Amino acid sequence: MSAAFDKLARPIQKWTRQQGWKELRDIQARATHVLMDGNRDLIVAASTAGGKTEAAFLPLLSQVLDEPCEDSGFDVLYVAPLKALITDQARRLEEICRDTDLPITPWHGDVSSSVKAKATKRPRGVLLITPESLEALFIRRGLEIPRLFGATRAVILDELHSVLDSERGIQMRSLLTRLEIALKRPIRRVGLSATLGDMELAKAYLRPDSPSEVEQVIAEGGSAELQLQLHGYVAGDKDDEGPSATDAIAQHLFENLRGSDNLVFGGARQAVEIYSDRLRALCEKEHLPQEFYPHHASLSREHRDFVERRLKDGTAPTTAICTSTLELGIDIGDVTCVGQIGAPFSVASLRQRLGRSGRRPGKPAILRQYAVEAKLTPTSNFSDRLRLGMVRAIAMIELLLEGWCEPPQREALHLSTLVHQILSVIAERGGIRAQQLYGILCQIGPFRQVDTQLFLDVLRALGQPEVALIEQASDGLLLLGANGEKLVEHYSFYAVFQTPEEYRLISGGKELGTLPIDNMIAPGMLLIFSGRRWLVQEVLARDRVILVAPAKAGVPPIFGGDPGNIHDRVIQRMFDVLEGQKRPIYLDATALELLDEARSNYGQLLFDPGTIAQLSDNAAVIATKTGSVRTTTLALALRASGFTVQTHDGFLEVFGKDESPELIDALSALADGKEVDLFAHSPNLLFEKFHPHLTEELLQKDALSAHLDASGLAELTHAILGRD
């Protein structure tokens, strides 16, 4: 055994031998050297089941066993974003520590209060906890924090890649600084992550003040062979003979996946249900045992456990048709193939999904991508003619093959999460001065984009009598207000993310249905609902209502025109695909036909002066050639100039009104730096959980920092007009 092995404590060595391991894995040996020879922070990056957990825990547990700490408190803190992961890891650690007296304490909402009471009475060993439960400890037991964590020598952050730029990630960073402030000393940070798009950004996330001091251990590999296929399908009309695209895909999955373990990502819950149903029917028809099961968050925990167990134990062949539920989380073992129906939303997620396949030596990773495109008619929308879904799938596969994936987003203000942490720190301490609060959250903590003026504006908003989340005592101390007390008291406070709320769509007093909105929607924009195109008339964000009218203009694309958060680089690659000649070898015959069709239709759009094409007298298409942030910004700017606008991947469809200026004139004005009020028509600005407590002005600043790029508008319009 190696030098790294010799460093481990005896009981840990014994466990390792019992596993039949001849050697520590490479990342485990390297992590052991880093963790046992110094006190540096560390990021361990490897795929699921790559041995990351042991890489962090074997050396840290060895230190705890060989050099016990005199102070009271848990020795090691482990934070993970999923309850299932905590339960799973606790079980593995129990095994490792069986011959020691180190207690392992899983702590989340499903853990009984007796376990928690016992652990807090005499805190020792390893605490495995969710960010929300840790938040609750700060709020409910603020004064006990030093006693609970006085001995803590390291905190392990699992699934680091999944929280890097999210609200929960900011919350976790804030909690870590608050922990260090309460203990008056730094605590070593160890991040466990999937392969990252940008290691430097991850280091800055883990230790913002000294990212260059963070060590990294990255798994070698990714050497598995990749087998790729992209299957194209054309959605049929009702009167068409032959199977629908859905039936054809189900048949193809049935024939190719039967008899092995697979994951098929269906995109949406409804699609997951439809495909599962077809596949079940196919099994019944052939009198075969059932092996295709749906898996998404609306299904019961019992059913999901059943599917996960079947995948993991490998006794019976199992294919899960799933949403992103099976992208993260516990190890479900190796699968033969990963299916993806429709274009994914990010290359990072595609890579993570593909990482579930081809993990055994000598086995290839297999990706089967399915693209469904509309049957074209003389009145088809331009976006259907350009086959944008399939083109995006190709662009993402190309970027995946090049090893690229999206880096974390730029630093935003995160005002909703700031509100949460303001209330939480006040609750933890009973009361605090504004200046000290600013220091904790914005100078040492993660809200560094927030200057003192903005911070005071936020405090003022929260202190408004009708808001009453905080108040100031006569001695200047900030306290919770009446509403703040109520909010913090309820257990629903601990989570910092919003549970999606649906907007009601109303046309002429009649309700059309509900739609979850997580994008910038403003009056004068078009949206698709139940196969029809609607003009947004008014957004009543605080009532969660959108008033719409049937839109006269144009035929809607098969899928809506509401692009999610697509990165600039993906859109640029889509244009490379449209403008290029290369015919990727992984496309099947139909996909090749669709690609040729897309290129030919793109050529016929006659873009002049390069990026603007006139569709009819009052309709034009602009190729923005850039991602959703800048495309949405231009959409709002044109809307402010009187146009009706619909967004697509890298394109805007623009309709004039009688009183609207010519499109070129409007773009020229923007290129010349004309100031427009992007919020002139009250777009929806309530995206996050604590947004409803902020003023319109603060909401606009938050949106500008995260969802829009006002300063890039002149540059974008310059490019569109072909100016230098």
Partner DNA sequence: GACCTGCTGCGGACTG
Binding site for DNA (CB under 7 A): 81-84, 108-110, 113, 116, 130, 132-133, 136, 140-141, 168, 267-270, 296-298, 323-325, 342-343, 345, 349, 388-389, 392, 491-495, 497-500, 515-516, 518, 528, 559-566, 648-649
For tokens 């909105």, name the residue: 517
How many angstroms separate the CA atoms of 473 and 480, rounded? 10
Nearer to DNA, 251 or 498 (CB): 498
Nearer to DNA, 382 or 438 (CB): 382
> Which H or E run contains 172?
helix 167-183
Nearer to DNA, 21 or 306 (CB): 306
Give, in order, the Cα–Cα distances in Å from 473 to each of 75, 190, 433, 480.
39, 40, 10, 10
Question: Cβ of residue 264: shortest distance to DNA, in angstroms?
Answer: 14
Nearer to DNA, 81 or 407 (CB): 81
For tokens 């924009």, name the residue: 525
Nearer to DNA, 246 or 324 (CB): 324
Question: Cβ of residue 17: shortest distance to DNA, in angstroms?
Answer: 34
Give, in order, the Cα–Cα distances in Å from 153 to each of 121, 299, 501.
19, 40, 40
> Which H or E run contains 363?
none
Kindly give the pairing relationship between strand 478-480 and strand 470-472. antiparallel
How many angstroms separate the CA atoms of 518 and 420, rounded? 20
Question: Cβ of residue 534: shortest distance to DNA, in angstroms?
Answer: 12
Nearer to DNA, 159 or 457 (CB): 159
Amino acid of residue 537: Q
Question: Cβ of residue 72: shortest distance to DNA, in angstroms?
Answer: 19
Question: Cβ of residue 527: shortest distance to DNA, in angstroms?
Answer: 9
Tokens of 584: 């990727």
Nearer to DNA, 559 or 586 (CB): 559
* SS3 of residue 92 by DSSP: helix
Nearer to DNA, 121 or 491 (CB): 491
Q: Is 502 exposed, middle or buried (0-12, 13-18, 19+ CB in 10 A)?
A: exposed
In terms of phi and psi (left: phi > 0; alpha: psi -120 to 50; beta: otherwise), the region of 327 is alpha
C-alpha R_g of the chain = 27
Give, in order, the Cα–Cα distances in Å from 388 to each of 350, 371, 573, 602.
18, 10, 12, 11
Question: Cβ of residue 252: shortest distance to DNA, in angstroms?
Answer: 21
How many angstroms separate the CA atoms of 149 and 187, rounded? 10
Question: Cβ of residue 649: shortest distance to DNA, in angstroms?
Answer: 4
Nearer to DNA, 266 or 523 (CB): 266
Question: Cβ of residue 384: shortest distance to DNA, in angstroms?
Answer: 12
Question: Cβ of residue 162: shortest distance to DNA, in angstroms?
Answer: 8
CB of 635 within 8 A of CB of 648?
no
